Amino acid sequence: MDTTENAGAMGSGAGDRFAAACRHARRASVLASVEALLGWDEQTMLPPAGGPHRADQAAEMAAVVHRLRTDPAQGERLAWLADSPLATDGSPTEVGTIRLLKADFDKQARVPTRLVEALARATVEAQQAWVEARASSSWSLLLPHLERVFSLKREQAACQRPDLDPYDALLDDYEPGARWREVIQRFGPLRDAVVPLVKACGESRRRPDDSLLTDADFPVDAQKAFVREVASRIGFDFERGRLDTTEHPFCSTLGPDDCRITTRWNGRSLPTALFGVLHEAGHGLYEQGLNREWYGLPPGEATSLGIHESQSRLWENLVGRSTAFWEWCHPLAAAAFPASLRGVPMSRVHEALLVVRPSFIRVEADEVTYNLHVMLRFDLERAVVLGELPVAGLPEAWNDRFERDFGMRPPDDAHGVLQDIHWSAGLVGYFPTYTLGNMFAAQLMAAIERAMPGLDREIAKGRFTDLLAWLRRQVHAHGRLLESDALVAAATGESVSSSWLVSSLRNRYGAAYGL
Ligand SMILES: [Zn+2]
């Protein structure tokens, strides 16, 4: 890392202080990666009885990281740097790093330790209550916990960003720079397009049949070799990463050369692991594409959750469900799973990947209805945070809205308001980043297709290097120095809009359903 591009020339010790501030911030990131390693291990390896001690370890590590991140000496250094000429006249990397380190520090330092601890405790208790509440579909078990979590989150919002309204203060944690009023303007036209599209697909006489992929013989050992080959081929570097098995797939970065992805396996369904791995490997390609010289510092960190999700969705849906991809992948799949796929034409396999089937459960949703699930949660959590809806009113509001959007009413709260862990975990303001990610992905893909007219021919031959190089250059290389809107606009030459996602869904699913 060259932390003294211009800093040395600025005099008055700016170079030394900049280097010291970066060293300090990186130490905190290295410690946070130890915390992440504990989390990865918890989900993949931990014996059941090891849970309580792991919770102690995680709490101690969180406290150490928080102390380091709010160390007053770092605060003084950053305040000094922010007033120095380096903060305005340094290189763009230096200017951005000072601005972001200072903003991160100020935000964290404004939240009192008492509140950090109260939130940690309340969310652990709420998550435990959630497990029981969901299993027995008993909203009343969760209600008092959720009331406490939402109240603490509002307090956190007021502390950390007193300049923003409470929902924006929380949204900003996951999608820096995003504001809910703009998000509403983007989501509105998307909902207006998706609700009738889902209805039209449901009424169409032409229906893709996915049973050949979701109810056939796909031996797990053969799947393991197959998805590893696919992940390698799109560019996931197994020298700098791993693939393991968990109940809930995720991607976790433990160091500049250590990115872990996970998936689950279903011996009767190929898409479960294949699209899970394409999704997580998409996150992994982003992590592996970040500037490792700046590991743990803003130029080497992901822009936002929305941009992260754009990378996973692009590989999962826009590449992985394309005809070109299956021209390459179909012979590979037929050789790996001869009992189920030999002799089945590619067009039938491809069609089976474009099924729209409304479901009560978000994590089982198809690509089209998924966004309706997200917009519902975004509208409800915002109403709660802004004081327009009491937490106690969530189940009824949920069911009413679900019925309006999907044409069916959840039979119980386990299939409704109780299905996701996010709110219990204190992840409020997180949901909209899923659909923002889908929007960014569609807009980026449209720009990629304009820039690379021969892309389909490349993909059909199993060549993904040009596509990945474009993403490396236009998305990964920026780290956090650009916010998501600016990054997408710079990469695509257009301001952010949901119109790309609308036409992408209409074109692909309209064709599959003969609309
Ligand atoms: Zn994801």
The lowest-confidence range among 30-44, 82-96, 267-281, 293-307 is: 30-44
Best CA proximity match to 290, nearest among 257, 319, 262, 315: 257
Distances (CA, A) of 149 to 139, 156, 397: 15, 10, 19
Q: Which of 306, 313, 301, 318 is nearest to 486 (CA)?
A: 306
CA 250–ligand 1 middle distance (angstroms): 7
Which one is catalytic: 132, 147, 175, 280?
280
* Residue 10 confidence (pLDDT) above 80: no
pLDDT at 172 over 50: yes
pLDDT tens-digit map of 62-113:
888 989 999 999 999 999 999 999 999 999 999 999 999 999 999 999 998 8
Percent of the chain topping pLDDT 90:
88
3-state secondary structure of 251: strand
Give the pLDDT confidence score for residue 2 in this predicted structure: 45
| 212 in Cβ contact with 348 (< 8 Å) | yes
Q: For residue 501, how far is its CA from the centre of ligand 1 (angstroms)?
A: 17
User: How many angstroms separate the CA atoms of 444 and 450, rounded?
Assistant: 10
218 Cα: distance to centroid of ligand 1 (angstroms): 24
Output b/e per residue, 337-349; b: 16+ Cβ within 10 A.
beebbeebebeeb
Distance (Å, rounded) from C-alpha 253 to C-alpha 246?
Answer: 16
High-pLDDT (> 70) share of the chain, %: 98
Q: Which pLDDT band holds residue 193 (cuts at 50, 70, 90)?
A: very high
For residue 202 the two structure tokens come to: 């449901």
Look at residue 3 and tell me whether its pLDDT is greater than 50: no
Cα 173 to ligand 1 centre (Å): 17
Whether the predicted pLDDT of 12 surpasses 70: no
Per-residue pLDDT tens over the stretch 248-271: 899 999 999 999 999 999 999 999
> Which residues make beta-bridge pairs with 242?
260
pLDDT attached to residue 368: 96
CA of 292 to the centre of ligand 1 (A): 22
pLDDT for the residue 233: 98
pLDDT of residue 239: 98
* Å from CA of 63 to ligand 1 middle: 27
Ligand 1: centre distance to CA 246 (Å): 15
Is 414 in a helix, a strand, or coil? helix
pLDDT-derived band at 56, boundaries 50, 70, 90: confident
Q: Is 83 exposed, middle or buried (0-12, 13-18, 19+ CB in 10 A)?
A: exposed
Structural contact between residues 491 and 448, judged by C-beta atoms closer than 8 angstroms? no
* Gap between the Cα atoms of 468 and 490, Å rounded: 17
Q: What is the CA(189)–ligand 1 centre distance, in A? A: 23
- The residues that bridge with 263 in the sheet, in sequence order, are 245
Mean pLDDT of the chain, nearest integer: 94
Alpha-carbon span 284 to 262, nearest angstrom: 10
Q: How remote is the CA of residue 264 from the centroid of ligand 1, in Å?
A: 14
List residues bridging with 260 in a β-sheet.
242, 252
Provide the edge-to-edge strand list for the sheet that holds 251-255: 241-245, 258-263, 251-255
Amino acid letter, residue 378: F
Q: How far apart are CA 286 and CA 305, in angstroms?
A: 11
Give the Cα separation of 251 and 145 in Å (integer): 28
Q: State yes or no: is 280 an active-site residue.
A: yes
DSSP three-state, residue 282: helix
